[in-house]
Amino acid sequence: MPAESNEQPYIPADHQLPAPPAPPAPKRRVWVRVLVWLALILLFALIFLLVMRHRTKPAAGGASRRGPGQGTAAVNPVTAERGDIGVYLNAIGTVTPVYTASITSEVSGIVTAVHFREGQMVHKGEPLIDLDSRQYRATLLQAQGLLERDEGLLAQATMDLGRYRDAWNRNAIPKQTLDDQEKIVEQDKGTVKNDEGTVQFDQVQVGFAHIVAPITGRVGLRLVDPGNVVPANGTTPLLVITQIQPITVVFTIAEDSINQVSAPLRAGKKLVVDAFDRTDLHKIATGTLLTLDNQIDTTTGTVKARAQFANANASLFPNQFVNTRLLVNTLHNATLIPTSAVQHNGQTAFVYVITNNVAHTRTIQQGVTDGLTTEVEGIHPGDVLANSSFERLQDNAKVAISNRPQPKTSGSVTSGSGAP
């Protein structure tokens, strides 16, 4: 048998079949590449975050990079106390003199003398201004002359009446003559009264030329000088006198608080009113409430009140604006803390109570606030509270008690932020 040969049979070139095309690359290889790149990106991002977290981690004993609630915060402590606190009604008031006298002239004339100095304290009845009174004195002298003449006529008629009565008793004259004489006497009496009224009027006119102080008070700026001619009942005052001792302050009270004020007044209790300056920091004077107005202002829903102050040192000035605080009640045995220790989270008030160097949040109910002190419920007298470093405090945060003295502030302190 002939041996098998591995040689392929010869096929002419023109009879060879074309080579099949290369198969296309599968699509899943593209997705594999995308997933690989995403995995690498995520890996690099994770490594970057780990490196950054390691760099921002605080070193042992370091406090410069601590966040809120991390590490130990140094706080200034305050202690809740038991005491009394006043319930006040605050308002803006106007200093109002008890009396204000605008002096005008009742007669016309030339100013001959000015007896006061600007800003001088004058007493009732002291001379202020003199006007030329010569014409009024001359008129008074004429009226006095007429009075004397008519008084003489009355005396003569009265004497004749007595004679006529004697003659009538002797039946020497008719009754008509006696009656006529009686009426003549009555006429003369009326004439004398008219003359007396004229004399009194002229005396008043002469007195108007000598102007005196109607009240005790402080004189304002001088508005006339000697030689000026002033008219009778002019619209421009010659001077103004205001009583400043005592003096009053008029302020308003909300209608919802009227019962708090009117009830003690009806019982005869004196309510204390303090007057503070415009900054509400310095107390100017202390007085007592006099009365409330007799009606409520419907446009504002308030009622006016008037308080009186002795004003011995003249610290209250007429028309000055002041802040008033009316004491209507006093709470006894209340729990009191500094207002600066109270924190707020929305409508919720809370404090940090320190126990064994750990701060615990405690929700409280705020009551009356008097300056830098607030009455609260929810803690007990003797509790130690944090009064600083609120930005680094949270519940169960470790604290270190600092003996650094508290800075002294005036007025209300705005509480810091925080969350219980």
> Could you tell me the pLDDT band of residue 369, with boundaries at 50, 70 and 90?
confident
pTM over 0.85: no
Question: 67-111, pLDDT tens digit by residue?
Answer: 444 568 888 899 999 998 888 999 999 999 999 999 999 999 999
Compute and round to an integer the Cα radius of gyration of the chain: 51
Residue 164 and residue 120: Cα distance in Å, rounded? Answer: 66
Q: Tokens at residue 322, please?
A: 């002041």
Q: Are 126 and 139 in contact (CB under 8 A)?
A: no
> Could you tell me the pLDDT band of residue 396, with boundaries at 50, 70 and 90?
confident
Residue 163 and residue 185: Cα distance in Å, rounded? Answer: 13
Helix (H, G, I), strand (E, B) or coil at 410: coil
pLDDT at residue 71 in the model? 63
pLDDT at residue 40 in the model? 83
Distances (CA, A) of 299 to 93, 105, 294, 357: 18, 40, 15, 55
Instruction: Flag whether pLDDT at 18 surpasses 80.
Output: no
| Residue 373 burial (10 A CB sphere; 0-12, 13-18, 19+) | middle
Residue 105 and residue 224: Cα distance in Å, rounded? Answer: 11
- What's the CA dihedral at 260, 262, 267, 271 to 10 degrees? 70
Estimate to the nearest angstrom the gap between the alpha carbon of 259 and the chain centroid: 21
> Could you tell me the pLDDT band of residue 58, with boundaries at 50, 70 and 90?
very low
| Residue 256 burial (10 A CB sphere; 0-12, 13-18, 19+) | exposed
pLDDT at residue 66 in the model? 44
Residue 273 and residue 288: Cα distance in Å, rounded? Answer: 5
Stretch 266-292: mean pLDDT: 92
Does residue 174 have a cis bond before it (omega within 30 degrees)?
A: no
β partners of residue 70 = none
Q: Tokens at residue 73, please?
A: 């915060």
Instruction: Flag whether pLDDT at 25 surpasses 70.
Output: no
Stretch 231-239: mean pLDDT: 90
Amino acid at 78: V
CA atoms within a 13 Å half-sphere pointing along the CA-CB vector of 402:
14
How much of the chain, in percent, has pLDDT values that exceed 90? 55
Query: What is the rounded average pLDDT for all residues in the chain?
Result: 84
Cβ-proximal residues to 252 (8 Å cutoff; 6+ apart), any chain: 91, 92, 297, 300, 302, 303, 304, 305
Instruction: Flag whether pLDDT at 411 surpasses 70.
Output: no
Please provide the size of the chain in residues.
Answer: 420
Residue 195 and residue 342: Cα distance in Å, rounded? Answer: 83
Other beta carbons less than 10 A from residue 91's beta carbon: 20
Other beta carbons less than 10 A from residue 286's beta carbon: 14
Stretch 399-413: mean pLDDT: 54
Stretch 286-314: mean pLDDT: 94
Q: Are 115 and 129 in contact (CB under 8 A)?
A: yes
Least confident of 31-35, 190-194, 270-274: 31-35
Instruction: Flag whether pLDDT at 137 surpasses 90.
Output: yes
Q: Which residue has the tokens 């001619």?
A: 229
Range ranked top by mean pLDDT from 68-72, 369-373, 382-386: 382-386
Stretch 269-282: mean pLDDT: 92
Instruction: Flag whether pLDDT at 291 surpasses 80.
Output: yes
Name the fold adopted by 73-87+331-401.
2.40.420
pLDDT at residue 403 in the model? 66
> Could you tell me the pLDDT band of residue 8, with boundaries at 50, 70 and 90?
low
